[in-house]
Amino acid sequence: MELALGVVLDASADAARTTELARQADAGGLDLVVLRGGPDTGLDPWTAAVWVAGVTDRIAIGTTGFAPPPAHETPYPSVVEKARESADLLTGRRLVDGEPWTTAPADADRAALETLAADGRTVVVPVSDAADVARLVALVGPAAGRRRTAAARALRRDGIDYDGVPASLAATAVEPGDPEYLAASSTYLRGGAPGLVLRPETPEQVADALEFARAHTHVPLGVRSGGHGISGRSTNDGGVVIDVGRMNRIEVLDASRRLVRIGPGATWKQVAAALDPYGWALGSGDYGGVGVGGLATAGGIGLLGRAHGLTIDRLRAVELVLADGTLVRASADEHPDLFWAVRGAGANFGVATAFEAEVYDVGEVGWAKLGLVSTDLEKSLLRFGEVATAAPRDTTVFLVTGRPQRGQSMIQLYAIVDSSDPQVVVERLQPFLDLGVLVQQEAFMARYKDIMGQAPDIGPEGHNGQGEPVSRSAFLPAITPRAAHDTAELLRSGRVYFYQLRTMGGAIADVPADETAFAHRTPAFQATAMGVDQADLDARWDRLAEHFDGLYLSFDTDRRPGRLHDAFPPGVLARLRDLKRRYDPDALFRDNFPIDPRTTL
């Protein structure tokens, strides 16, 4: 039977030992640490509990036996409540309320513990040294699946066959009642409450996860790599999430060809750091915290884009698991049709498990962040359009702005100049300085890994997004005076808090449009606008349609059917639909710009 075991630690013992024993119980797979106060315990129970949560990673923490504080030592209830919320956020809800456990005698054997555990409650045993903890760790044995208390099982969601989770995934799966759930439920920009998060570590386990997903088409399915998806709904409410974050290996296959193999769960920060010692890089987007899988199946319009093309342009093979669980390798020679489709519409066809890419030499580059204040946004946008497209292809500059304040717009420019010569860098940046009044300037020579490295690591606390992002995307063939005017108008409405222009052209446009399912090779810019209300943003964005030619699916949350036609030109969409019929006829992959295999529209 499942045995949920914990330890009781005397909180008046010396602090270093309490810390050590709690860590041992955590690493050994026990479920709960109970800190016991006594008449002589001066320790503040809240501080002690949060401390133990901080020195452990997954175990739950409770307190017992602390004397209630006298009146003059009672904290304000509102502060207590706030402390509780903060602790939930920081520890992944690992602090336990009340005393939902049964305490066993210190010498209880396995049979006695099983009897006590019959009602499903966690059984805790007083311990005083490492040997005591080790005995309990040995009793629960190596976890085949994870042991869950009745309280944890009560948080399960309807419609999910929790007992049917494939054996290969049971040990690492996360349910709503698990300590890591808070960290596994949200993504970077989105709050979520999935019913089950499966965390495969091999392609075979991905196939197992998809088998489970095929039996759960009545609930949503999300696929997550780094959790930065905007259109990619890598969390959901009550559904299944397949999180490939653990498949994050990065290895060099052939140094002479600069051929590397990258797992979908790596972040671009990790990729940049791994390639740097070789003097190589692979351009991604503009933020190192983004995961490989989502970006490398969509496009990858990044700060090395004009110099070296889209991320997908460097892919030489993609390995993925199809909807029916088949493991396939797609390249120019193997399943070339799938290789074409995965580079731009990958989310419709499978779960990528590895990417092989031919990367390129990148030495020191110029990196700049410029802040400019503009009193004439329209003029500044127009001017940006001119200089960003006229710049040599070693220079890629992105523009970000938000709501104008008191008639002034703060324009942020982010730039990489792929040159190790500071003179060239200065020369390239010069034309951008007159977009407004320069108020902030940071420019230095840097390694690409340091630029990507500015993103923080995703720690055990996971992401903390809330709500739903509201975002629209479009490709702009050019920034015409009318486009600049209408864009400035949109920003002056105050309903868009984030607006970005990613400059394209250069090497991106060198690739023929039919080479990849990402077919928008000729636009000068990709524009993203983020707002707070989808219907409002849609209405405003639609009014700008005359300036647009398609959209980049990664950055668009509009779910009206017309968007699919913006993402894929007619010929591309027809071809993708044919392939969808072949590779995912039942539309298992349906949460990110889904192509309906049944229609012909």
Partner 1 sequence: MTDYGHDLLFGTFLTPSAQGARQVIDLAVASDRAGLDLVTFQDHPYQPAFLDTWTLLTYVAARTERVHLSGNVLSLPLRPPAVLARAAASLDLLSGGRVDLGLGAGAFWDGVAAMGGRRLTPAQGVDALREAIVIMRDLWDTQTRGGVRHDGTYYQVVGAKRGPAPAHDIPIWVGAYKKRMLALTGEVGDGWLPTLEYLPDGVDTLPALNAQIDEAATSAGRSPRDVRRLLNVMNVRFSATGRGVLDGPVDQWVEQLASLALEHGESAFLIGGDDLPTIERFAAEVAPAVREAVARERQ
Give residue for tokens 């980049």.
552
Give 17 or 393: the residue with its C-beta nearer to partner 1: 17
CB of residue 85 to partner 1, shortest distance in Å: 8
Q: Name every residue whose Cβ is closer than 8 Å to that of residue 430 and which is 6 or more positions away in sequence.
A: none
- Residues forming the site for partner 1 (CB under 8 A): 15-16, 18-19, 42-44, 46-48, 50-55, 69-70, 72-79, 82-83, 85-87, 89-91, 441-442, 454, 456-459, 461-464, 466
Instruction: Give the Å distances, CA to CA, from 161 to 120, 128, 212, 403.
Output: 19, 40, 9, 47
Q: Which is nearer to partner 1, 338 or 417 (CB)?
A: 417
- C-beta of 40: minimal distance to partner 1 in Å? 9
Angle at 460 between CA 454 and CA 466, to 5 degrees: 80
What distance in Å separates the CA atoms of residue 575 and residue 579, rounded to the nearest whole number?
6
Query: Least Å distance between CB 286 and partner 1?
Result: 17
Dihedral sign for Cα 211, 212, 218, 220, please.
Answer: negative
Q: How far is the CB of 571 from partner 1 (least distance, A)?
A: 43
- Smallest gap from Cβ 361 to partner 1, in A, equals 25
The two structure tokens encoding residue 573: 């969409």
Distance CA 138, CA 158 (A): 34
Cβ contacts of residue 429 below 8 Å, gap of 6+? 366, 368, 370, 395, 415, 417, 443
Nearest CB to partner 1, comparing residues 120 and 453:
453
Nearer to partner 1, 16 or 111 (CB): 16
CB of 84 to partner 1, least distance (A): 8
Of 52 and 241, nearer to partner 1 (C-beta) is: 52
Residues in the chain: 601
Q: How near is the Cβ of 187 to partner 1 at its closest, in Å? A: 13
From CA 305, how far away is CA 113, in angstroms rounded? 61
In angstroms, what is the minimal distance from the CB of 75 to partner 1? 5
Report the residue number, 149 or 248, with the smaller CB distance to partner 1: 248
Question: Judged by CB, which is closer to partner 1: 70, or 512?
Answer: 70
The pair of three-digit structure tokens given for residue 342, joined into one six-digit string: 């995965």
**What is the closest distance, in whole angstroms, from the C-beta atom of residue 53 to partner 1 in the complex?**
7
Q: How far apart are CA 347 and CA 294, in angstroms?
A: 8
Assigned token pair, 53 = 């949560």
Nearer to partner 1, 12 or 389 (CB): 12
d(CA 431, CA 412): 15
Q: Please, which residue, 464 or 493, has the CB nearer to partner 1?
A: 464
Q: Which residue has the tokens 């909180």?
A: 11
Distance between the two ends of the chain, CA-based, in angstroms?
54
Q: Quick one: CA dihedral 564, 568, 574, 580, positive or negative?
A: negative
Nearer to partner 1, 426 or 539 (CB): 426
Least Cβ distance, residue 62 to partner 1 (angstroms) = 16
Q: What is the CA radius of gyration of the chain?
A: 27
CB count in 10 Å sphere of residue 83:
14
Q: Which of 159, 161, 153 is nearest to 212 (CA)?
A: 161
